[in-house]
Structure 1
């Protein structure tokens, strides 16, 4: 067996440097986009994305609604690419997220929205991609090459780029300062030891839970279990798990609950402890939990940057679970790095 670290592990460890590079090189693009966004003054925001990029947009939805007080909704790319319908969204700002910038359906919806008066911003790792060319403004994420099929550093830099755009649009200097402090926090997050949770994952099925921005991180976590570990995982809001899904929980059923230092943390802690009563083995980032196992984690000084640190710690664990199961997380079966959906 090789003792060399996987490409996924190397890219997880590159995340703090990738975010540092984004902060050093991406400021002019973010400032220009924020100025345009303020002048445009959208009534609401839209997102166009799939997979991990769509999970990044779910996080940005909560950020928009909490910071800008503007609703944000994910639109179905197939509405344009398959059904041929142009949406009437002239008052909206659209954030299209794709690490490759190549997927035809994401491109088609972005082009359709721009044609009909929507202000379009692309977040991508390729500023020469078709998506970048189709959008009014592009925010390059400066992640550098990502060779492992599983997105890690491109997911995190997409989160940071979108968060930075919204913070600058609002003029929230506390949030901007927290964003600039992220590299050191992410380096610490990469060192968090989640081996206790990894040991509890038996390879059959599990839940990941969160609420608010942390629910977006839960969604990404569930995808990564399926993608890299071949383990069935489902993500739910901690407010919804008792509305049906709890029925499948049996003795020692693994659950990971994500939380930030925000108004939802207490409710996540309560849900985590309540699931212990149902027989689940629960690991949580909610500090108020009394029965669930609180995992080592990093708080960043701002509740909206806490979820960024959480996913970095999680990535380290899920890569270890995959390797422990004898699976190469760099090349999951049936998957390619770039998926081009019509």
Structure 2
């Protein structure tokens, strides 16, 4: 896991190259994924809507179980690191729509279901938890769905700044519970970061849309809470001040689209460090497998 996080730049470079070659379908698009891949689908749907496209993200399993509930779409774009996720394959098969797949593997069952396979094989992983594959797919989506040239130097920014990132992570506060907050695309990344902390370090970690946090979850804030805020909007500043006033240790990370992959690397490294501190093997979290096949 650690080696894969540290080498994320190679996947990011490939993602930028692929995104420069073509665009995702421009029609009404349903984005599907499971687990981390569902959070990628959420990011994709938000970015697509921002550019005026009709788009929705749903868990693959929900669509597999009830394809009629998905509604009417022109295209399906599915995310699966392994390309073998049963729920995604079942959903695409049930919908019978033109489909794209974003994956890291050349081989996989029923590839004939997909008109186009976007292969991020430089982001392929051996660890069970997704790190390099997720951040590389994130870079691809940010680029292909309209973020400007600010992304083009991301691999260099990562390699040149990795030492500073690792040093910063060493100083991240520890707590009894962790909250990850964000809006827009940062909301999907916050969910992924919470999952990394949960599955890797087995700590209590939850993600919330920043402006939803006051609507109930705030009651859990005290001196034992650590809040990571992927800040991208002015309205999040008073929230950070309010939570700090309630005793939480609040750490702000850049939540703008061009900075999100770098902020995610901070949180991936933190999950790895916490797992080691707790005597856990971050490469093989208990009860989990590389790919879910029903």
TM over 0.5: yes
The answer (yes or no) to whether the contact 2:104–2:122 under 8 Å persists in 1 is yes
Superposition RMSD in Å: 2.2
Deviations 1:10-39 (A, max 9, x none): 100110122223444x358x42x54xx3xx
How far apart in 2 are the matches of 1:201 and 1:73? 36
Deviation at 1:176, TM superposition (A): 5.0
Bigger Cα displacement from structure 2, 266-275 vs 184-193: 184-193
The answer (yes or no) to whether the contact 2:37–2:81 under 8 Å persists in 1 is yes
The answer (yes or no) to whether the contact 2:19–2:140 under 8 Å persists in 1 is no
What TM-score, normalized to structure 1? Answer: 0.78
Partner of 2:235: 267
Partner of 1:237: 209
1:136 matched to 2:89? The reply is: no
1:81 matched to 2:56? The reply is: no
Partner of 1:97: 79
The answer (yes or no) to whether the contact 2:200–2:272 under 8 Å persists in 1 is yes
Deviations 1:159-181 (A, max 9, x none): 122233323xxxxxxx3523322
Partner of 1:46: 30
- CA radius of gyration, larger in: 1
The answer (yes or no) to whether the contact 2:32–2:60 under 8 Å persists in 1 is yes
How far apart in 1 are the matches of 2:126 and 2:206? 26
What TM-score, normalized to structure 2? Answer: 0.90
Match of 2:245 among 277, 288, 294: 277
Name stretches of at least 5 consecutive residues in structure 2 with no aligned partner: none
Deviations 1:117-137 (A, max 9, x none): x43211011233236432111
Partner of 1:18: 11
The answer (yes or no) to whether the contact 1:211–1:268 under 8 Å persists in 2 is no
How far apart in 2 are the matches of 1:132 and 1:180? 31
Aligned residues: 291
Deviation at 1:280, TM superposition (A): 0.9
Partner of 2:281: 328
Name stretches of at least 5 consecutive residues in structure 1 with no aligned partner: 1-7, 168-174, 287-298
Q: Residues 71 and 277 from structure 1, CA distance in 2 versus in 1: closer, same or farther, beyond 3 angstroms?
A: farther
1:255 matched to 2:227? The reply is: yes
Deviation at 1:88, TM superposition (A): 4.8
Deviations 1:267-289 (A, max 9, x none): 22221111011111111126xxx
How far apart in 2 are the matches of 1:325 and 1:249? 23
Deviations 1:226-276 (A, max 9, x none): 11100011100110111000111122421111124xxx2x22222111101
